[in-house]
Amino acid sequence: MRSFLKINFIFFIILFSVKNLYAQDLHFSQYFNAPLLVNPANTGFNPEFDYRIGGNYRNQWQSVTTNPYKTMSVWGDAQLFTNRFDEAWVGVGGALLQDVAGSGNLTSTRAYLSVAYHQIMGLNSLLSGGFNIGFTQKRIDLTKLTFNTQWNGTFFDINIPSGEPFVYNSASYFTLQAGLKYSWFATDNLYLSAGISALNVNNPNESFFNTNNDFTRVKPRYTFFADASLMVDKVWILNPNFYYSTMGTAKEIVFGGIIQRDLSASGDGSLQLLAGGYYRVSDAIIPMIGFDIKNFKITFNYDATTSSLKTFNQSRGAYEISIVKSGSYKGREKSIKCPTVRF
């Protein structure tokens, strides 16, 4: 019975953390390596390359539950019409995500298609606007769940009716997201950008019950981010970042940065070390390390819990890995060239 109470207490601590930090949606600590999920205006924003593809994997709370939360995504985007528009181009892309959580195998599968328009403003700035449409399906295995009414004093008896008014074991809906981004290429050694986006602007209904009210409607999620790149010298680039997201009463604030160190013998940046760290306010310290090898980037981070959950998980929060490959189409000269901070 003591172990039962302890497990349930840990479960409620996790729920409290989710409500205050993560309830707003699926998320990655390496949000900058999942750009289409942060803001659709990022679609096709990769000035020196024609396309990029990426993948992300996150494993969370493995130390406090036998069914850790796992989040996976694959995504890609590309630039179009760079030779047709005067100082502008179109970005198109898509992303697929899946999140599996808890003993009931609550599975969320999401697919997004996004498009953005990028217009050069003057000599050294760029304005981007984009939107996406997404489809979400959530499923739960009700046969793997037990409720307090099924406790017979000794164990949970699944043959006892739960009394819960479940009508569906899945829920599906469409979402809409829109965003803007402004980029300033101040000098060859300094780049600044900021963006804002709104997700779930159509307030879709999400419920496993036969209900449709304010409580079951998904609230809009608003996200703001800012980042910069500063070349300190010929072998060092500093990349600070800030991220703020809010949904209803929940919010998430992450800030920190990564440094890039050119390790290539030729000094062309073909081999780079990536290292740094972030802090998610009231939740975790996030050290990060990775490598960029000929525009193939792999980055690993670990979330060390700083919230009240650390009492139960010994600060072992989550680990995450991302892979991003950028490239250019062979034999095509781009008519639009934006300055970027690169080795």
pLDDT tens digits along 202-249: 999 998 888 888 888 999 999 999 999 999 999 999 999 999 999 988
Report the share of the chain in percent with pLDDT over 90.
Answer: 61
- pLDDT given at position 48: 84
> Is 114 or 329 the better-scoring residue by pLDDT?
114
- pLDDT given at position 55: 98
- pLDDT given at position 314: 64
Report the share of the chain in percent with pLDDT over 70.
Answer: 86
pLDDT at 101 over 80: no
Of 47-51, 195-199, 244-248, 251-255, the one with minimum mean pLDDT is 47-51
As a whole number, mean pLDDT of residues 38-52 equals: 94
pLDDT at 58 over 50: yes
Name the residue among 70, 122, 74, 113 with its Cα closest to residue 93.
Answer: 113
As a whole number, mean pLDDT of residues 326-332 equals: 82
DSSP-assigned letter for residue 203: -
Q: List beta partners, residue 161.
A: none
What is the C-alpha to C-alpha distance for residues 338 and 124, in angstroms, rounded to an integer? 8
> Is 252 or 342 the better-scoring residue by pLDDT?
252
- pLDDT given at position 337: 61
Name the residue among 146, 27, 62, 106 with its Cα closest to residue 316.
Answer: 62
Pairing mode of beta strands 69-80, 250-262: unpaired
As a whole number, mean pLDDT of residues 105-110 equals: 88
Quote the distance between the C-alpha of residue 308 and its chain's center.
23
Q: Please say whether the beta carbons of 189 and 229 come within 8 A.
A: no
Total residue count of the chain as it appears in this document: 343
What is the C-alpha to C-alpha distance for residues 152 and 161, in angstroms, rounded to an integer? 12
**CA Rg value for the chain:** 22
For the chain, the average pLDDT equals 86
Tell me the two tokens of residue 316: 């072992």
> Which domains are assigned to the chain?
2-327 (2.40.160.40)
* Residue 62 confidence class, pLDDT cut points 50, 70, 90: low
Q: Which helix (H) or strand (E) holds 329?
A: none
As a whole number, mean pLDDT of residues 73-90 equals: 91
pLDDT tens digits along 117-173: 999 998 889 999 999 999 999 998 877 777 788 888 888 877 888 777 777 788 999
- pLDDT given at position 309: 72
What is the C-alpha to C-alpha distance for residues 246 and 178, in angstroms, rounded to an integer? 15
Pairing mode of beta strands 250-262, 236-247: antiparallel
- pLDDT given at position 47: 82
Q: Which of helix, strand or coil describes residue 137?
A: strand
CA distances 172 to 131, 138, 206, 211, 288, Å, are 20, 6, 7, 14, 35
pLDDT tens digits along 259-307: 999 999 999 999 999 999 999 999 999 999 999 999 999 999 999 989 8
- pLDDT given at position 20: 40
pLDDT at 14 over 50: no
